[in-house]
Chain A
């Protein structure tokens, strides 16, 4: 115990130099992109690439959340992209509603009679739902007119879902792979539900045109993309600080202990379920916020975004980046998603083997899958492990990093003897 309390005397920044390094790099990066952008700078980086970078920052943020819940607490959730998507849907509803409301009010202003509230609402509804053959607002849109309420929903909907789901799952002691499968089932059920037109969120079409901010139609996307880029960078910075703070204190020690041996922590008297529930819910909220920033940049959200595969990819990013360390998650998400964009974008040169031409559009997924197997087998620390080699750390320093979820498990050590 004294070991743990000693470093507390040092300031936060000194104990976790990586946090400061990260924030500094992020700030530099943001300024750099702004200077190179089309909107405010010299136009070296195209607006579409600014959007890609902004989206990547959001993915880094959700990867952070994933790292917290998996890398630190050992809960392999295969459903965190569901929270990400819910955040996107929440903000998307307001964006669609508000933009459409402006259009409808403008067009009704020309009508001979002043519009009744019913007519305005019908007009908006048929504009939004006309495409899916409906013309009435489903109850789920009750708060769509209000930005503050929908912003609240960005936080509350994923948070509450995680709270309820987590409470049910943890209290009946569903752990390990069972929990993974259960979370996967959750996101599958959610995406299937959203796929239905009856869900009231436009089914397979989802919400689109989200890049157009209501009332800002004369602001060019060159500028809007930067706004969102800054927002994403800020959110990532704050998220990183929050996560670093969470894992630094006693709370962090307990969740790492839960990862390493849940039963012992329980016997020590800690309410394991409450800790797990807290971390599950907090990360769901972070994921929701990341999603709310991501989808206005992507322009469209639809149920396919919540499919189980998306959450599995999230785990892949964190694993490749190096779980159990926050910067690992960020590196993994940024690296894999950018490389993925590069390969599938057709920019990667094809390799001509003479008898067969390897076209990366076809073979990238195979490469990703296999490299993933290799990382799991040979480099469980992921890319982040390189940092260890760089600064040559020795010995198990449990502060914010290192051993994977199962490596510390006692049973395994015994079994190997």
Chain B
């Protein structure tokens, strides 16, 4: 019934405006010839269709490619005719004729299928569109053409680029075109000389695309021979058994080149033996005795002697064949002169790459350190200054992050919401900290171990509370637009703005902490209370109040840190526990009671972790494990941390 109704509707729509569609326009006929591959929509088969459109010389072809790329091309299921369309609502389309761009009418979308080119096909279309776009009056279109060349260059683009270069008016686009022209010359240049010139023009350029153009020139094939041939395209000589050429691989190479007898795998050997069992014996050996590899080797050798199976190489033969051959690399990417130029250029680049990688790693380490510092600074106050172990510190970070999330629910403008969220997060966690100090911690000042346990109780309660209120799902906390993206110095060194913001925030906190502790009355009183509460009390300071404020201050800073961490990572009820152990270690490693120590501790933990990650890039987990192990050992040898307090303060 339903289907009949749609058919009827389709018929209505077709009998109406669709009549106007020009089924025999040249562009439509061209599309129809390639209808099958267009509908199949696979990058493997679509090539001819894209080429045919691009080379058809029809003025409409560009429109077709454009619409197709933007997923605006539809096909009429009944007639198989292609149209482009815009979606008016969920079920209705306004369709246009490709032939002349006229509107055909509004139709229900049931009778039409949308062509959804995948990004591979879209890339091909973009590549094909380049020729139309390079000299387009709209600079944006020209830029898109250049993007397309960067992503999927073709030999034909070189010529097109060269044609369009002299007429380019926009300076930045001209620079890009010029650069691309040289890159394409490296790849497709006709003479070696022009390729070499192009290579040399990039002296020391760090960009990935330059390396991407140069590296394929250095492609090699490993070959084996009795003696090293004397030819200009020979590269390194490889030792079998080295990392570059494992022993098995080297021997495979010899076997493949018919320079040695094959070896046999255990499975094949077993299968061969099984195939030759007769009367419970293989080549005269009882099957029951074949329960060791040596026995099987012998049985197989016996079979080979009988000629039932092909002989295989023994280990000694393998060694012998390997020793009597030389293995080397042959350059297959480019003529030797170009290879030499590319090698030279790459070497210069590689050196710079290493330096820049080190800088980038340093930036990463710095950024991680500032995150750890930010997470730990509140703890440095509560633990370092007051000596209170606050296991719920991580949950204060979480509360700050959720405050940010809630603020964003009410204030949709991201910039404004962050500006509101930061003081609010401070206020919320300050309040929570003060409440906790009043209700729990002040009763336990002389029982540090019990503070640890009580605050742990608070920690699990807060965590579960957050789950009950906000759910277990991660919540979005979105950074304002001006924090999107990253500061790109070159293709290797870059750092996201949000990380820079965190770094700046960490510095601000450091300054704030130093200012409060050293330059304000509160700081003076805090230090006094920390060093000798009774003396301070007799000087008219209220230690209770000071403790409360200090604890609130430390907690409040954790709240702000929470907003920052939430912006760069995620907001979940468990985010606090991700940071708590690391934060404690930062404080302990740095030396309790000294903010500079915490800073050093964070720097050490951060750079250590990045350093280990760099040594073992495939396993980040191992980096964390080794870092913790290192810290455990470090504390054995410097129990008081990097900066140990001396004198009276140390005893407090």
Is A–B contact present in the complex under a CB 8 A cutoff?
yes
**A positions within 8 Å CB-CB of B:** 76, 112-119, 165, 168-169, 172-174, 176-178, 180-182, 184-186, 188-189, 192-193, 195-196, 198, 308-309, 312, 315-316, 319, 362-363, 365-366, 368-373, 376-377, 380, 404-406, 409, 411-412, 415-416
- Of A184, A186, A404, the most chain B CB neighbours within 10 A belong to A184
Is B177 on the interface with A (CB-CB < 8 A)? no
- Of A117, A169, A181, A405, the most chain B CB neighbours within 10 A belong to A181
Beyond A116-B290, A196-B621, A363-B464, 12 additional pairs, beta carbon < 8 A: A114-B288, A177-B452, A181-B581, A182-B632, A185-B585, A188-B581, A196-B625, A198-B622, A365-B464, A366-B468, A373-B458, A377-B443
Report chain A residues within 8 Å CB of B456. Answer: 312, 316, 369, 372
A369/B635 contact (C-beta < 8 A), A177-B449, A406-B446, A406-B450 known = no
Closest to B294 in A: A116
8 sample A-B contacts, Cβ–Cβ < 8 Å, listed by A number: A114-B290, A118-B266, A169-B636, A181-B585, A188-B581, A373-B454, A376-B453, A405-B449
Tell me the minimal C-beta distance from B124 to chain A in angstroms. Answer: 36
Tell me the minimal C-beta distance from B138 to chain A in angstroms. Answer: 52
Is B460 on the interface with A (CB-CB < 8 A)? yes
- Interface SS majority for chain A: helix
Contact residue among A117, A312, A369 (Cβ-Cβ distance under 8 Å from B464): A369
Tell me the minimal C-beta distance from B383 to chain A in angstroms. Answer: 8
Is B273 on the interface with A (CB-CB < 8 A)? yes
Report chain B residues within 8 Å CB of A186. Answer: 632
Report chain A residues within 8 Å CB of B581. Answer: 181, 184-185, 188, 308
Report chain B residues within 8 Å CB of A404. Answer: 447, 450
Within residues 176 to 201 of chain B, which ones have a CB less than 8 A from any CB in chain A? none
B468/A377 in contact, CB under 8 A: no
A376/B444 in contact, CB under 8 A: yes
Report the separation of the CA atoms of residues A68 and B296 in the bound assembly, to the nearest whole angstrom.
59
Report chain A residues within 8 Å CB of B289. Answer: 114
Contact residue among A76, A177, A377, A411 (Cβ-Cβ distance under 8 Å from B440): A377
Report chain A residues within 8 Å CB of B290. Answer: 113-114, 116
A118/B464 in contact, CB under 8 A: no
Q: Nearest 4 CB-CB pairs, A to B?
A: A369-B461, A372-B457, A365-B464, A189-B628
A316/B636 contact (C-beta < 8 A), A308-B581, A366-B465 known = no
Closest to B592 in A: A178
B457/A198 in contact, CB under 8 A: no
Contact residue among A118, A192, A406, A412 (Cβ-Cβ distance under 8 Å from B449): A406
Contact residue among A112, A370, A409, A412 (Cβ-Cβ distance under 8 Å from B457): A370
A174/B635 contact (C-beta < 8 A), A114-B288, A117-B292, A406-B447 known = yes
Is B637 on the interface with A (CB-CB < 8 A)? yes
B277/A112 in contact, CB under 8 A: yes
Report the separation of the CA atoms of residues A371 and B457 in the bound assembly, to the nearest whole angstrom.
8
Report chain B residues within 8 Å CB of A119. Answer: 266
Report the separation of the CA atoms of residues A192 and B289 in the bound assembly, to the nearest whole angstrom.
46
Is B448 on the interface with A (CB-CB < 8 A)? yes
Is B459 on the interface with A (CB-CB < 8 A)? yes
Contact residue among B287, B446, B631 (Cβ-Cβ distance under 8 Å from A185): B631
Tell me the minimal C-beta distance from B139 to chain A in angstroms. Answer: 51
Tell me the minimal C-beta distance from A333 to chain B in angstroms. Answer: 15
Report the separation of the CA atoms of residues A29 and B292 in the bound assembly, to the nearest whole angstrom.
54
Within residues 418 to 460 of chain B, which ones have a CB less than 8 A from any CB in chain A? 440, 443-444, 446-450, 452-454, 456-460
* B: interface residue count bin: 35 or more
Is B584 on the interface with A (CB-CB < 8 A)? yes
Tell me the minimal C-beta distance from B264 to chain A in angstroms. Answer: 15
Is B274 on the interface with A (CB-CB < 8 A)? yes
Report the separation of the CA atoms of residues A189 and B624 in the bound assembly, to the nearest whole angstrom.
8
Report the separation of the CA atoms of residues A368 and B440 in the bound assembly, to the nearest whole angstrom.
16
Is B293 on the interface with A (CB-CB < 8 A)? yes
Closest to B290 in A: A113
- Of A116, A196, A308, the most chain B CB neighbours within 10 A belong to A116
Report the separation of the CA atoms of residues A309 and B443 in the bound assembly, to the nearest whole angstrom.
25
B277/A369 in contact, CB under 8 A: no
A362/B457 in contact, CB under 8 A: no
Report the separation of the CA atoms of residues A193 and B621 in the bound assembly, to the nearest whole angstrom.
8
Closest to B628 in A: A189
B273/A113 in contact, CB under 8 A: yes
Report chain A residues within 8 Å CB of B639. Answer: 172-174, 178
Report chain B residues within 8 Å CB of A184. Answer: 581, 584
Is B315 on the interface with A (CB-CB < 8 A)? no
Report chain B residues within 8 Å CB of A368. Answer: 457, 460-461
Tell me the minimal C-beta distance from A274 to chain B in angstroms. Answer: 17
B291/A369 in contact, CB under 8 A: no
Contact residue among A189, A371, A377, A406 (Cβ-Cβ distance under 8 Å from B625): A189
A172/B636 contact (C-beta < 8 A), A113-B287, A196-B621, A377-B440 known = yes
Tell me the minimal C-beta distance from A117 to chain B in angstroms. Answer: 7
B461/A366 in contact, CB under 8 A: yes
B457/A373 in contact, CB under 8 A: yes
Closest to A405 in B: B449
Closest to B269 in A: A113
A181/B464 in contact, CB under 8 A: no
Within residues 335 to 388 of chain B, which ones have a CB less than 8 A from any CB in chain A? none
Is B409 on the interface with A (CB-CB < 8 A)? no
Report the separation of the CA atoms of residues A62 and B352 in the bound assembly, to the nearest whole angstrom.
57
B622/A196 in contact, CB under 8 A: yes
Closest to A183 in B: B632
B453/A316 in contact, CB under 8 A: yes
Report chain B residues within 8 Å CB of A173. Answer: 639
Report chain A residues within 8 Å CB of B153. Answer: none
Report the separation of the CA atoms of residues A369 and B459 in the bound assembly, to the nearest whole angstrom.
7
Report chain A residues within 8 Å CB of B444. Answer: 376-377
Within residues 289 to 335 of chain B, which ones have a CB less than 8 A from any CB in chain A? 289-293, 296
Contact residue among A113, A181, A380 (Cβ-Cβ distance under 8 Å from B274): A113
Tell me the minimal C-beta distance from A81 to chain B in angstroms. Answer: 14
Report the separation of the CA atoms of residues A329 and B277 in the bound assembly, to the nearest whole angstrom.
67
Report the separation of the CA atoms of residues A319 and B457 in the bound assembly, to the nearest whole angstrom.
12
Is B514 on the interface with A (CB-CB < 8 A)? no
Tell me the minimal C-beta distance from B284 to chain A in angstroms. Answer: 15
Report the separation of the CA atoms of residues A377 and B438 in the bound assembly, to the nearest whole angstrom.
12
A189/B270 in contact, CB under 8 A: no
Tell me the minimal C-beta distance from B591 to chain A in angstroms. Answer: 12
Closest to B391 in A: A312
Is B397 on the interface with A (CB-CB < 8 A)? no
Report chain B residues within 8 Å CB of A114. Answer: 287-291
Contact residue among B296, B453, B462, B584 (Cβ-Cβ distance under 8 Å from A372): B453
Report the separation of the CA atoms of residues A318 and B584 in the bound assembly, to the nearest whole angstrom.
24
A181/B454 in contact, CB under 8 A: no
Report chain B residues within 8 Å CB of A416. Answer: 446
Report chain A residues within 8 Å CB of B588. Answer: 178, 181
Tell me the minimal C-beta distance from A186 to chain B in angstroms. Answer: 6
Report the separation of the CA atoms of residues A112 and B633 in the bound assembly, to the nearest whole angstrom.
55
Report the separation of the CA atoms of residues A86 and B449 in the bound assembly, to the nearest whole angstrom.
26
Is B58 on the interface with A (CB-CB < 8 A)? no
Within residues 15 to 40 of chain B, which ones have a CB less than 8 A from any CB in chain A? none
Report chain A residues within 8 Å CB of B443. Answer: 377
Contact residue among A181, A188, A370 (Cβ-Cβ distance under 8 Å from B461): A370
Tell me the minimal C-beta distance from B459 to chain A in angstroms. Answer: 7
A115/B389 contact (C-beta < 8 A), A180-B452, A181-B584, A366-B461 known = no
